Amino acid sequence: MNTDSDTIAAIATAGSEGCISIVRLSGPDALNITEKISRSAKKPTGATPNTVLYAHIVGSDGKDIDEVLLLILRAPKSYTCEEMVEIQGHGGRISAARIMRRCLDAGARPAEPGEFTKRAFLNGRLDLLQAEAVQDLVKAQSEAAANMALEQLEGGLSTAFNEIYDALIHLLADLEATLDFSEEQLLLPVYDEIKTLNILIMNKIERLLKTWPQGHILREGASIAIIGRPNVGKSTLLNRLLDKERAIVSPIPGTTRDTIEESILLHGIPLRLTDTAGMRTTECHVEREGIERTRKTIQQADLILHVLDASQPLDDEMQAFWRKIQQNKLLYVVNKTDIKKYNHSENLPKNRTYEGSLLNNEDVIRLKNCIYETITSEFNLPDQPHAVISERHRDLLQLAQRSLKQADQLMKEQIEEKTIFISTHVRDAIEQIGKITGRVYYEELLDQLFAGFCIGK
């Protein structure tokens, strides 16, 4: 356990009006500090673990600041595995700030973002995957994302990574054992086993990598670009999906000049919608800048809703543009069927085309379902999502995968002379997987990871 750490304090509740506010303390002096700044019938330092004491926090002038409950958690059975106190005061920014100030006066240090969870990791209560899940749970925008984070917090993902890590250690031990054999003693079946084990590990890594798109959509939200020629109904589409008049809609082509971003939950899936400037050749500098932004939005989108006007003919330029975009990223929205003159659907892929009028409520419901189904099938989103990897895990897994592929390549060649090089690749893979679970870590990695956490978490 990390016993020589100092005592940290932070306001753990949101900095706004609320029914209660919590100031958290963790470290060897947590109980002493609480005792110095409070008065209660029973002393915090003498309290039994997991008890709640009724108390008052006292200011430096001896006057009461707040009436509180002290939750006493003794090491090692606390979130951080250290001595901890949670001071629950009456909600409100001022009260919480005054209690916090008293904690600092009495010797605590302000906690860094995520420092409580970092201590929980350093003290062995959580691995890095579980620590990351804590923040995912805080940030979850949908029930699916929260369930996924909870499963990861409970070790759902750790088991899979630990299995890979242990298998790699096994592989390395087998490889290094062969170094003791002379060439004549070397038994080919041993190498066959090593090769097979390496392939098994690579398959496991591949399976985990395939879960990334699900995690990406449920954590960050699917990014949806609404594009098309001017006046086809893009802003109308944004407003209908949001159920509010967010963007200006008008019959004048070129109404939307800049990109407009909004978020919604569609049947539990977070979507980040971007309405864009209509694409056309123009001399107007402002409009050209808007169209440039449209191009960037298209590049970053997970799904592109390409709106078409059924009262206007298709043009060659647009059709040429589609061919440059991955077809699985496109969903054609043929709009204005109430004043339809052309049958665009004939020229479009059936399973990728929706037709209707955005002025008709039933058509909008149909469109919402169509977007939902396209995303769930494209990103393989199950009804009950399990813990899946994040971008950090994906990047490290890809490095591990590369190392193991190099090892595999060497195994196919004259293996006797190559064992040391193969071992080096396996060691690299072990390091990458270790960085995911936290078996391998360094200060910089932790600083980077916890910097994105809330203060007090």
Residues 95-134 that bind ligand GTP (CB under 6 A): none
Which one of residues 26, 78, 214, 235 is an interface residue with Mg ion (CB under 5 A)?
235
Q: Does 231 bind ligand GTP (CB under 6 A)?
A: yes
Residue-level length of the chain = 457
266 to 305: interface string for ligand GTP, x by CB under 6 A? ------------x---------------------------
Q: Does 335 bind ligand GTP (CB under 6 A)?
A: yes
Q: Does 306 bind ligand GTP (CB under 6 A)?
A: no
Nearest by Cα to 397 from 205, 131, 259: 205
Shortest distance, position 233 Cβ to ligand GTP, whole Å: 3
Q: Does 242 bind ligand GTP (CB under 6 A)?
A: no
Which one of residues 163, 176, 338, 447 is an interface residue with ligand GTP (CB under 6 A)?
338
Report the residue number, 241 or 407, with the smaller CB distance to ligand GTP. 241
Report the residue number, 259 or 376, with the smaller CB distance to ligand GTP. 259
Pairwise CA distance, residues 269 & 207, whole Å: 23
Q: Does 198 bind ligand GTP (CB under 6 A)?
A: no
Q: Does 339 bind ligand GTP (CB under 6 A)?
A: yes
Say if residues 371 and 303 touch (Cβ distance below 8 Å).
yes
Pairwise CA distance, residues 130 & 152, whole Å: 6
Pairwise CA distance, residues 75 & 360, whole Å: 62
Q: Give the count of beta carbons closer than 10 Å to the beta carbon of residue 457.
A: 21
Q: Does 231 bind Mg ion (CB under 5 A)?
A: no
Shortest distance, position 367 Cβ to Mg ion, whole Å: 17
Which one of residues 222, 358, 388, 436 is an interface residue with ligand GTP (CB under 6 A)?
358
Nearest by Cα to 247 from 229, 274, 286, 287: 274
Q: Does 359 bind ligand GTP (CB under 6 A)?
A: yes
Report the residue number, 144 or 333, with the smaller CB distance to ligand GTP. 333
Q: What does 135 interact with, of Mg ion, ligand GTP, none (CB < 5 to 8 A by kind)?
A: none
First to last CA, the chain: 19
Q: Does 240 bind ligand GTP (CB under 6 A)?
A: no
Stretch that binds ligand GTP, among 135-143, 334-342, 413-421, 425-433 (CB under 6 A): 334-342
Q: Does 357 bind ligand GTP (CB under 6 A)?
A: yes
Stretch that binds ligand GTP, among 171-179, 202-210, 253-261, 385-393 (CB under 6 A): 253-261
Shortest distance, position 331 Cβ to ligand GTP, whole Å: 16
Dihedral over alpha carbons 74, 80, 84, 89 (to 10 degrees): -140
Angle between helices 419-437 and 128-139 (to 10 degrees): 40
Stretch that binds ligand GTP, among 106-114, 169-177, 210-218, 355-363 (CB under 6 A): 355-363
Residue with tokens 């043929």: 334
List residues bridging with 226 in a β-sheet.
275, 305
Report the residue number, 97 or 359, with the smaller CB distance to ligand GTP. 359
Q: Does 361 bind ligand GTP (CB under 6 A)?
A: no
Tell me how many helices (H) and strands (E) the chain has. Answer: 15, 13
Shortest distance, position 332 Cβ to Mg ion, whole Å: 18
Q: What does 358 interact with, of Mg ion, ligand GTP, none (CB < 5 to 8 A by kind)?
A: ligand GTP
Backbone angles phi, psi at 20, to 5 degrees: -135, 160
Q: What token pair was written down for 211?
A: 């879960």
Which one of residues 7, 38, 211, 235 is an interface residue with ligand GTP (CB under 6 A)?
235
Backbone angles phi, psi at 339, to 5 degrees: -125, 35
Say if residues 455 and 111 touch (Cβ distance below 8 Å).
yes
CA angle (183 as vertex; 178, 184 as ends), nearest 5: 120
Cα separation values, 355 from 237, 307, 387, Å: 13, 10, 36
Pairwise CA distance, residues 262 & 373, whole Å: 20
Q: What does 335 interact with, of ligand GTP, Mg ion, none (CB < 5 to 8 A by kind)?
A: ligand GTP
Angle between helices 188-209 and 391-412 (to 10 degrees): 160
Q: What token pair was written down for 134?
A: 């804590």
Footprint on this chain of Mg ion (rule: CB under 5 A): 234-235, 255-256
Footprint on this chain of ligand GTP (rule: CB under 6 A): 228, 230-236, 249-251, 253-256, 278, 335-336, 338-339, 357-359
